Chain A
Amino acid sequence: MTTPLVEMNDICISFGGVHAVDHVSVDLMPGEVVGLLGHNGAGKSTLIKILSGAYQKDSGDITINGKKVEINNPRDARALNIETIYQTLALADNLDAASNLFLGRELVTAFGFVDEDAMEAETRKIMARLNPNFQKFSEPVSALSGGQRQSVAIARAVYFDAKILIMDEPTAALGPHETQMVSELIQQLKAEGIGIFLISHDIHDVMELCDRASVMKNGKLVGTVDVKDVTDDDLLGMIILGKQPGQAA
């Protein structure tokens, strides 16, 4: 058996007495897509923000490729090749696509100045692959449509050799055509051996794209199942009632 890419063991975090994540363990293998399911407030986003460095866990540990790591801020996560596409997209609306794509990792010239033209050229290349219709390179991203903004956020995550990709509701703002593109992208990244945590509300998405699904309810892990072994109704039962598949209601 290969070493898991990510193991999050016994993670706890609470905010002012509320146990947002309560002794939760999940893992991810290379080339695998693991869906995280649950109601609003179930703790999925919070759990994943611990991995991306936005929150600091109270207890528990994280191992990457079998090595125990400390992730204290988003910089640490990026250094471990963990990339995140946030539900809010986390774009600076006043800057253009290239500036957002390279935010925190700007290309610089030999004199240490930001190389705007080189960044725009790279952005044009990757956008040609992800979203060929994208043309608004010199406008602030506030002028872009929801789908275009999403493609900027996705481009940012995949451009920098991600090994572990976290996608928080990546298709929430998208139309059917763009959703299809995201699905294809996930298949392609999976084939490249990247591990993906996919947070979603949509059971249909999860059944189609994921290998395994971990379901959370009220900050606790209900269970992790192979999607091949369960039906839509089983997953629904886990989400709504917190019961294991096959268990009587």
Chain B
Amino acid sequence: MSDIAVPTAKPRSFLETLEIDLRLLGMVGAFIVICLYFHFDTGGRFLTPRNIFNLTIQTVSVAIMATGMVFIIVTRHIDLSVGALLATCSAVMAMMQTQWLPQTLGLGLGHPLIPWLAILTGLVTGAVVGAFHGYLVGYLMIPAFIVTLGGLLVWRNVAWYLTSGQTIGPLDPTFRQFGGINGTLGQTGSWVVGILCTLAALAALWNARRNKARHGFPVKPLWAEGVLAAVIGIAILGFVAILNAYQVPERVLARNFAARGEEMPEGFTAAYGLPISVLVLIFVAIGMTLIARRTRLGRYIFATGGNPDAAELSGINTRLLTVKVFALMGALCALSAVVASARLSNHSNDIGTLDELRVIAAAVIGGTALAGGLGTIHGAILGALIMQSLQSGMAMVNVDAPLQNIVVGAVLVAAVLIDIIYRRRTGAK
């Protein structure tokens, strides 16, 4: 809200001055409540470095796809095929690294190029299949629901066909590093990444403020920027500190030393630190947020979701835009396939089953409106985290499996209801 013409504007509350989205704050609050509840119910086992580490690596696959689903839903479409497409990409990458590259092309197992060529092929597969879905939706005008419902059946079974239904493994050791516990940055590396992230966030805050000031727009008071910067810094560095507190068990260390033919020094310890898969998610989150907020593509996605006719009349090629959005979703499915299959260290026939529902639920819990035009990347990631926490928390307190799904389903519906009530109260659309 501009205060230029009305210098005597009513005094603003603490939160208004910080310009924090109340909706986001509500979600963070809900997340904290869930965490604390399970922490006490499990007698202090939930908020341990080990469990937080596991929680983050379990969330990554769904969270990566949820960021793409935000764009799909914002443009008033839906993608029911993400779990199946993940399986096809995973099958292609598994076959690439165990059969086609080493045997058909004769690179030999263990060739250093194998994991990278496999990932590249997977990404291309995902993007091409996604673009094809987008073409069917955008140019041939088949509803996305139908195209991707068909896609769910097709790609789930293309994966089956490619692998003859077998579990394909073990995957390449370098490839497996993208899975989580098999590939972490260690203590020093994690601190470096954490500090770089904090500095980048502070630079972005400072830059935004300077730009606003240059055009003579009102800016937040300095103390408000300071509070925001402190919150961001503590959150990032605190997260790194927690992951760094998760020590590699002694027997694992001993085994690693033994594998290299060395003796483990007395009192040697090492921490896992930031998993590479989480780093991938961080890159995806930053990249997708930049696309959403700072590129024409992102503008057009949100404009098309808000009013497709207006977007078309403004000269936006909405058909091509649909192809791009679905292609991006496909590529993100492939990236999730890397993380998911690397975590399991093999490709199994049922990989990604029901992921489409988790991904859609994460995006929706994260505030993406199915009517289109509204949604945020960080919301979707938080949505994925909330769902995963509920699921693991309930498993830890021994809630029966059917009850777990009943609760998650009810939470999804309740979250949307709360969102509708909140938007009605605040008068937002």
A104-B316 in contact (CB<8A): yes
Main SS class of interface, A: loop
Say which residue of B217, B302, B311 sits within 8 Å of A120 (CB atoms).
Answer: B217
With an 8 A cutoff between CB atoms, is A121 at the interface?
A: yes
B387 to chain A, nearest CB (A): 26
Residue of A nearest to B427 (CB): A143
With an 8 A cutoff between CB atoms, is B299 at the interface?
A: yes
Interface string of B351-392 (1 = CB under 8 A from A): 000000000000000000000011000000000000000000
Interface size class of B (residues with CB under 8 A): 35 or more
Interface string of A174-188 (1 = CB under 8 A from B): 000000000000000
CA gap between A116 and B290 in the complex, in Å = 13
Residue of B nearest to A105 (CB): B315
> Interface stretch among A39-47, A92-100, A225-233?
A92-100
Given the contacts A54-B313, A140-B429, A142-B429, A93 and B215 also touching, CB distance less than 8 Å: no
A114-B313 in contact (CB<8A): no
CA gap between A75 and B311 in the complex, in Å = 11
B307-A114 in contact (CB<8A): no
A94-B429 in contact (CB<8A): yes
With an 8 A cutoff between CB atoms, is A208 at the interface?
A: no
CA gap between A84 and B310 in the complex, in Å = 11
B427-A104 in contact (CB<8A): no
CA gap between A52 and B374 in the complex, in Å = 29
CA gap between A109 and B4 in the complex, in Å = 26
B215-A74 in contact (CB<8A): no
Residues of B within 8 A of A86 (CB): 313
Residues of A within 8 A of B304 (CB): 92
A169 to chain B, nearest CB (A): 15
Task: Choose among A74, A105, A108, A118 the residue with the greatest number of B CB atoms under 10 Å from its CB.
Answer: A74
B373-A93 in contact (CB<8A): yes
Residue of B nearest to A113 (CB): B294
> Interface stretch among A131-139, A195-203, A237-245?
A131-139
With an 8 A cutoff between CB atoms, is A215 at the interface?
A: no
Task: Choose among B2, B290, B315 the residue with the greatest number of A CB atoms under 10 Å from its CB.
Answer: B315
CA gap between A95 and B307 in the complex, in Å = 10
CA gap between A117 and B373 in the complex, in Å = 21
A65 to chain B, nearest CB (A): 21
Given the contacts A104-B314, A135-B2, A93 and B429 also touching, CB distance less than 8 Å: yes
A90-B215 in contact (CB<8A): no
CA gap between A140 and B310 in the complex, in Å = 15
CA gap between A84 and B217 in the complex, in Å = 30
Residues of A within 8 A of B293 (CB): 114
Residue of A nearest to B429 (CB): A142
Say which residue of A84, A92, A136, A139 sits within 8 Å of B373 (CB atoms).
Answer: A92
Residue of A nearest to B374 (CB): A94
B315-A74 in contact (CB<8A): yes
With an 8 A cutoff between CB atoms, is A112 at the interface?
A: yes
With an 8 A cutoff between CB atoms, is B1 at the interface?
A: yes
Interface size on A, residues (CB 8 A): 38
CA gap between A84 and B312 in the complex, in Å = 13
Chain B, range 309-326, C-beta contacts under 8 Å to A: 309-317
B193 to chain A, nearest CB (A): 23
CA gap between A73 and B429 in the complex, in Å = 30
With an 8 A cutoff between CB atoms, is A163 at the interface?
A: no
A92-B307 in contact (CB<8A): yes
With an 8 A cutoff between CB atoms, is B10 at the interface?
A: no
With an 8 A cutoff between CB atoms, is B169 at the interface?
A: no
CA gap between A95 and B310 in the complex, in Å = 12
Residue of B nearest to A141 (CB): B306
B211-A117 in contact (CB<8A): yes
Chain B, range 209-244, C-beta contacts under 8 Å to A: 211-212, 214-217
Residues of B within 8 A of A120 (CB): 215, 217
With an 8 A cutoff between CB atoms, is B295 at the interface?
A: yes
With an 8 A cutoff between CB atoms, is A3 at the interface?
A: no
With an 8 A cutoff between CB atoms, is A88 at the interface?
A: yes
Say which residue of A103, A105, A135 sits within 8 Å of B311 (CB atoms).
Answer: A103
A94-B217 in contact (CB<8A): no
With an 8 A cutoff between CB atoms, is B303 at the interface?
A: yes
Given the contacts A74-B313, A106-B296, A93 and B307 also touching, CB distance less than 8 Å: yes
Residue of B nearest to A109 (CB): B294
A104 to chain B, nearest CB (A): 4
Interface pairs (22), CB distance under 8 Å? A74-B313, A74-B315, A75-B315, A84-B313, A90-B310, A92-B303, A92-B306, A92-B311, A94-B373, A94-B429, A95-B302, A95-B306, A99-B303, A103-B314, A104-B300, A113-B290, A113-B295, A114-B294, A114-B298, A117-B212, A118-B215, A121-B217
Binding site for B on A (CB under 8 A): 52, 54, 73-75, 78, 84, 86, 88-95, 99, 103-106, 108, 112-114, 116-118, 120-121, 135-140, 142-143
